[in-house]
Amino acid sequence: DSDGLGVSPVSTPESGFRSALSVENLTSSEPEEARASPHYPTRNKTREDFLQDVRRAQQTENYTSLQRFYMRSFDTFAEICTNKEEEGAKTEEPGLNMEFLYAVHDALRGMPSVIHKTVLKSIINALLEENRNLFDKDDVRALYVLVQNPVFAAQSSYTIFAHLLRHIVNLSGPDHQLLVNWFKVLEIDKLRMIVRHVMQFITIRQFPPADKSLPPLSKSRWWIPTATKTLALINAANNSSTPPLLDYTEFYNSALDHMDLMQDYFNWQSPQRPGQFSYCQYPFILSIVAKRIILTKDSEQQMILTARRSLVAKVARHQAPQIDIFFLNIHVRRSHLVSDSLNEIASKQKDLKKKLKVSFVGEPGLDMGGLTKEWFLLLIRQIFHPDYGMFVYHPHSRCYWFSTDQEGNLREYNLIGVLMGLAVYNSIILDLHFPSICYRKLLSPPVVPDVDSAQVGSVQAPTVDDLAEIMPDVSRGLTELLAYEGNVEEDMCMNFQVSLEEYGDVKTYKLKECGENIPVTNDNRSEYVKLYLDWILNAAIYEQFRAFYLGFHSVCASNALIMLRPEEVEMLVCGSPTLDLNELRKVTEYDGYKADDPIITDFWEVLHSLSDELKKKFLLFATGSDRVPVGGMGEMTFKITKVTNKPDNLPEAHTCFNQLVLPTYDNQDLLRQKLIIAISNAEGFGLE
């Protein structure tokens, strides 16, 4: 993307998707520190003076004085900048009296419409004047002030707002960096307001009202790219703040879920249309639902292409095409589940993007989804079992991490990666408990490099917070080591080695050459912590994670993956933690019961009354996972089946079919008692 704000697709003629990632970030050049600015006198009116004027106007209902103030304040860029502090704009701060500015903007919300019109006219004058002048640092500051103006909440202001945003986008790279820095020091509510104004502006331009109140698209086609690029600056400010000022989901525009996403995706990838705007260039604006649609449709396109090639090849060889050419057919024996699955996947690498169908040898039955889900659940239960030794369960964090001494099981690690990829493409929710750094590693990089020797799956400079997700006690110890005020060498008696307990055995590893002879001191403890973190999270498990990474990408190799955040990959694999029982009730089917039967009414009343923790346990009991698919419970299937003559039995569940078997209890209290016993004693797959 030539403006340096967006994300570019990657491809190579040979493989389609195997290529180095190329993400164009904001310019790395430093903002100009001290460009000459005209001298503007600082206005003498204080915040208290202004608020007193507002109160007086409200009491007398005479806003003439305030109208003059607002007209003068926004009439020129010079006037807008009179609110600056003595030292003027800096690289990290705008040098404005922000309290005064907030008061002026906040008061404007409650002003009569005539003052809003006055402000808009003044902003028009300021923008027209600025079109005749070169930008300097004070002009950047004026744009920063104007974009915060609450008058842009109104649709009637959109033509002016569009021109303001164009001024912002047309700034130089260093000036963009200034704005990024200044957005970081805005109050969170003010930053959120700008995001919402720009987001609403995009939505209404994308889906214009029927009253034709907006200019025709032929004259305002540039509005959406301009607004989206402005959002990219705010998103850059948000991402570079620790912690982020806003949750990344606040940059989602869910209205875009309903547009032709695949056309946008194809435009983004098309080399014949360089420079054409696409939302996919700015993936932060696309919701996880939109990204899942793109990922799934892209997978289907690749699947159809693969199947078509297979069909053409068979016809060319005068062979009859297979009926199941559009499916990845996995045939396994229950008694040899892992080995059969490994062999099937190894022999069908070219079919991994096809729709998955599973059959168990010697068992009748057509896979309508239940057998596929059962295959996933049984495989994960077996591979994550402690006896298998591939993953270590950490009870304090309730998550799994890769074993450090299992390089001989690389095929199995690759299988887990393939399973995760297949789950994403086949909309299967897996009950996996990996820390978030696992998903960051999966996107490091998001596209497999061309060079086989290139490092993959390593996170640069992992932190103690990353380790805390897996081993909170160890992370706490490292933090205390860094903060220790005594003599580290004498009091701690540590060296550059790490001891790790796995499955009852303690093993010691060197963090650097001759590490056993190098004491940890006050001077080198930061190096020790850095090496320790890199060893635990990268080096010690490199080969295992590399196999896992390549397995995942063998299924999910796609430009669509570039658009995903680590949190979004986790959500696609493991589902969302948000439970909406009303949505679940709407999609529930009944076998033997009716929706208005007293016991069904009692069941839903009991379920709604449970604590959030018990609701999650119920979902785990009934579906095999305590999370729901991306898009919500409305996309699930759920069935309640009647069983008679067993009033003393506990409810049962067939997780492979999301089916609850519910006895006919006599009263609600008994139903509650039996249900809580059942869900409280259910085991989740992958948890012991």
Tens-place pLDDT, residues 607-624 = 999 999 999 999 989 988
- Say what the pLDDT of residue 325 is: 76
What's the pLDDT band for 104 if we cut at 50, 70, 90?
very high
Calculated CA dihedral for residues 106, 109, 115, 118, nearest 10 degrees:
80
Q: Retrieve residue 552's tokens.
A: 């995942």
- Say what the pLDDT of residue 43 is: 57
Q: Quick check: 33 pLDDT over 50? A: no
What's the pLDDT band for 453 if we cut at 50, 70, 90?
low
378 in Cβ contact with 337 (< 8 Å): yes
Instruction: Say which CATH class 575-680 falls into.
Output: alpha beta
Q: What is the mean pLDDT of residues 217-225?
A: 91
Each residue's pLDDT tens digit, 467-497 = 999 999 999 999 999 999 999 999 999 999 9
Q: What is the mean pLDDT of residues 417-424?
A: 93
Q: What is the mean pLDDT of residues 421-432?
A: 88
Q: What is the mean pLDDT of residues 546-559?
A: 92
Q: Count the residues in the chain.
A: 688
- Say what the pLDDT of residue 373 is: 86
- Does a cis peptide bond (omega within 30 degrees of 0) precede residue 243? yes
What crossing angle do the helices spanning 410-425 and 370-383 adopt, rounded to 10°?
Answer: 150
Hunting for tokens 């500015």 — which residue is that?
101
Burial of 139 (0-12, 13-18, 19+ CB in 10 A): buried
- Say what the pLDDT of residue 131 is: 67
d(CA 248, CA 286): 11
Q: What is the mean pLDDT of residues 70-77?
A: 89
Q: Considering the chain, what is the average pLDDT of its residues?
A: 87
Question: Of all helices (H) and strands (E), which one includes residue 653?
Answer: strand 652-654
Q: What is the mean pLDDT of residues 277-301?
A: 92
Among 221-230, 302-311, 549-558, the range of highest mean pLDDT: 221-230
Burial of 471 (0-12, 13-18, 19+ CB in 10 A): buried
Q: Quick check: 551 pLDDT over 60? A: yes
What's the pLDDT band for 200 if we cut at 50, 70, 90?
very high
Each residue's pLDDT tens digit, 494-529 = 999 998 877 678 889 999 999 999 999 999 999 999
Q: Quick check: 340 pLDDT over 60? A: yes
- Say what the pLDDT of residue 655 is: 84
Q: What is the mean pLDDT of residues 14-31?
A: 34
What's the pLDDT band for 684 if we cut at 50, 70, 90?
very low
Q: Quick check: 287 pLDDT over 80? A: yes
d(CA 412, CA 341): 10
> Which residues are identified as catalytic?
656
- Say what the pLDDT of residue 211 is: 84
- Say what the pLDDT of residue 76 is: 85
**Protein fold of 303-444+554-563:** Hect, E3 ligase catalytic domain fold (3.90.1750)
Q: Quick check: 80 pLDDT over 90? A: no
What's the CATH superfamily of 464-537?
A: Hect, E3 ligase catalytic domain (3.30.2160.10)
DSSP state of 162: H
- Say what the pLDDT of residue 85 is: 62
526 in Cβ contact with 479 (< 8 Å): no
- Say what the pLDDT of residue 685 is: 38
6, 19, 104: which is closest to 451 by C-alpha? 19
d(CA 449, CA 458): 13
- Say what the pLDDT of residue 318 is: 84
Q: Quick check: 2 pLDDT over 70? A: no
Q: Between 645 and 174, whose confidence is greater?
A: 174
Beta-ladder partners of 642: 662
Q: Quick check: 304 pLDDT over 50? A: yes
Question: Of all helices (H) and strands (E), which one includes residue 332?
Answer: strand 327-332
Q: What is the mean pLDDT of residues 107-133?
A: 88
Each residue's pLDDT tens digit, 262-280 = 999 999 988 777 778 999 9
- Say what the pLDDT of residue 13 is: 36
Q: What is the mean pLDDT of residues 362-379?
A: 84
What's the pLDDT band for 312 if we cut at 50, 70, 90?
confident
What's the pLDDT band for 683 if we cut at 50, 70, 90?
low
What's the pLDDT band for 83 if we cut at 50, 70, 90?
low
Q: Between 81 and 121, whose confidence is greater?
A: 121
- Residue 43 burial (CB count, 10 A): 17
d(CA 684, CA 626): 9
What's the pLDDT band for 232 if we cut at 50, 70, 90?
very high
Question: Of all helices (H) and strands (E), which one includes residue 267?
Answer: helix 261-269
Q: Between 505 and 453, whose confidence is greater?
A: 505
Q: Quick check: 650 pLDDT over 70? A: yes
Domain boundaries, the chain: 47-251, 303-444+554-563, 464-537, 575-680
Q: Between 229 and 81, whose confidence is greater?
A: 229
